[in-house]
Amino acid sequence: MIKRSRISNIILALLGAVFGYILSVIDDNLYNYIAQLISYKWMVIIALLIILTLTYFLSTKPAITGTKILNKNLSNAPIIKVFLDLGLKNIHRHLTDDDIRTRLEESLNIQVHKTWFPENDQIEEGLLSAIKNGAAVDLLLCKPDSYILRKRCEAAQEPMGPYWIYRAIKKIHKTITNPENRNINRKITITLYDEWPGCPVIWYGKETIYDNIVMGFYFWGASSPRWPWINVTHKSRLGKILQKQFESISKIKNNIVLQEPQDMERWLKENEEYEKYEKYDWNQHDK
């Protein structure tokens, strides 16, 4: 019986032979050769080889539970090994609102770098629950009038970004000033910036913010929770890059930093326009 490793080598060798042949016949008439090669027969052969390769690698159950994760066998593939070495732990197809809420409310240390946050009532509930339980929170969000935020809202087809930023600050202020909430941690910081955000990242955990790190993407068509997220190892190269990104943007001189309740209250009074419109009037802002 032929071993799987030998089968995989044969398949990869065949793939290499196919693509080697393609490269060998390409000359100055590149497009003409490509048009000839991508025929029905070639497409079928290449498709079968790819299917066989994927079937081999995905033939066992996932090693780690999650919405959508890398299979254990893929760790042997060179390209996947590169990602693992960078700090990638697993991949989620997306994060549901309930999933994010649960992750937040069970944490005592939260750090968020996004354009706006939270995105809706359910995620907001998780954040506020964590604050009531004594969580230390550090939010790095766009200024509501940021042009970067405007373009992200347009790309995500969710124009309420400025409203959610204002609402987050208002809800947090109300929570930390409520005398009934006796476990409030005074290490709560909201920083508003007007720079390119890089990518959305959420750090959270019971012991430290580095217990769990998830990195998302700013794709078109929806806000970041609707797209894939990657779990990242803290001390990895990628983990260090993400933390440096957060710290660098946090230190920009023209940022607005809100730490004390009175600072939040003052900012809220000066920016009431963002609460009046659930759909912010960008045209009015441009005037």
Beta bridge partners of 190: 139, 258
What tokens does 148 get?
A: 């970067």
For residue 4, how many other CB atoms are within 10 A of its CB? 12
Cα gap 166→4, rounded to integer Å: 57
Among 175, 174, 169, 160, smallest CA distance to 120 is for: 160
**Contact criterion met (CB below 8 Å) for 233 and 89:** yes
Select from 3.30.870, 1.10.8, 1.10.3470, 2.40.50 the CATH code of 94-286.
Answer: 3.30.870
How many angstroms separate the CA atoms of 53 and 47, rounded? 10
Domain ranges within the chain, ordered by starting residue: 1-59, 94-286
pLDDT for the residue 95 = 87
Q: Which of 125-129, 194-198, 221-225, 279-283 has the lowest mean pLDDT?
A: 279-283
User: Is residue 277's pLDDT more than 90?
Assistant: no
pLDDT (0 to 100) of residue 81: 62
**Are the C-beta atoms of 151 and 269 separated by less than 8 Å?**
no
Distance CA 189, CA 95 (A): 25
Report percent pLDDT > 90 for the chain: 55
H/E segment holding residue 127 = helix 121-132
